Amino acid sequence: MAWRRATRWHPTNPPDPVTNTRTHRRLPDLGAVCYLTRRPRQRFRGCGGRGAMILGVSGLNGAGKGEVVRFLEARSFYPLSLSDVIREELKRQGVEETRERMIEAGNAVRSAEGPGALAQRLVDGLALDRNHVIDSVRHPAEVEVLRQHTSRFKLLWVEAPVGTRIDRMKSRGRGGDPETAEQLESLEGRELGSDDPAAQQLLAVRELADFTISNAGSLEQLQRSVHEILADNLFFERPSWDEYFMSIARVVASRSNCVKRRVGSIIAVDRRIISTGYNGTPRGVRNCNEGGCPRCNSFAEGGTRLDECLCSHGEENAITQASYHGVSVRGATLYTTFSPCLMCTKMIINAG
């Protein structure tokens, strides 16, 4: 067992204050890989910890919000709409649903219960173990409620040119939709912004968007744009084998009983762990952190009185553990969280 990327401390580089390690310079290639201590960067991308994602969708009339929702629904996002909360309110009142009444009812709920009331009614029933897409976000207070509910909330704004939006609204044939640019401008004048804090505030919502999609092209282009957002914020990359084994080595290091430092090592062959080791006193000797090593417990200056130290090193223990159990380490790879000393380096090379 040897190194393919063996490295040594650079004498001018101070230890990293977090990992207690140093940057390294490379020595000649000698064989297998010995990855040294630098903490691999977190590979999960996007927001926070893993968990269900909530995507809010907002935008102007005919911009393509419904297509975004359908695309996400086909990818296991559970669809919800703040407009459904208003529909339930109209149904409770026994009032027929029209666009004007929907706007009036939404404003009335916000006025009576607060500007974020529609979102608050919705989030109370959200399951945090599944992905959701929430349509018809039309007030900045609704965005705030959703953000407070989970750090996994992201707001997507969809926009398109006026002419394109009018053509789409004509094609869908929905009653009450404007048919000219003038009608659309008149309709949206009340939705984009208002002095009434309970009214829709779409322009303010747009300013809060995490992502903006220009939907002036084909449906395929729109779907591709949404997929790219998912790829960057929902999907995650699996760690490489080297990162995987280094992560395990750091867990092994947590078992160290040395009061000076914690070092963990693992030996793997064919992507299979065959031995582990951490630094500490030998078998049958009291643990270092219990006073077993006089040198370590005297906190001697680094590099001095090494002949008095009873602790075995992590790399050394990994190799001897394999030998103890009759496991060959020939051609294996050793991963360690600290730069091996000269003795361990020679042992790694001689182990084959």
Among residues 181, 220, 141, which one has the least CA distance to residue 60? 181
CB atoms within 10 A of CB 95: 13
315 catalytically annotated: yes
Of 188, 243, 315, 316, the catalytic one is 315
Residues 271-282, buried b or exposed e (16+ Cβ, 10 A)? eebbbbbbbbbe
Spatial strand order of the sheet with 211-214 comes to: 78-81, 132-135, 54-59, 153-159, 211-214
DSSP 8-state secondary structure symbol assigned to residue 312: B
Q: Radius of gyration (Cα) for the chain, nearest Å?
A: 31
DSSP H helices in the chain: 65-73, 82-93, 99-113, 117-123, 140-149, 162-172, 181-192, 202-207, 219-233, 241-253, 294-297, 314-324, 342-350
Residues 100-123, buried b or exposed e (16+ Cβ, 10 A)? eebbebbbebbeeeebbbbbbbbb
Give the residue numbers annotated as catalytic, written as ranges. Answer: 315
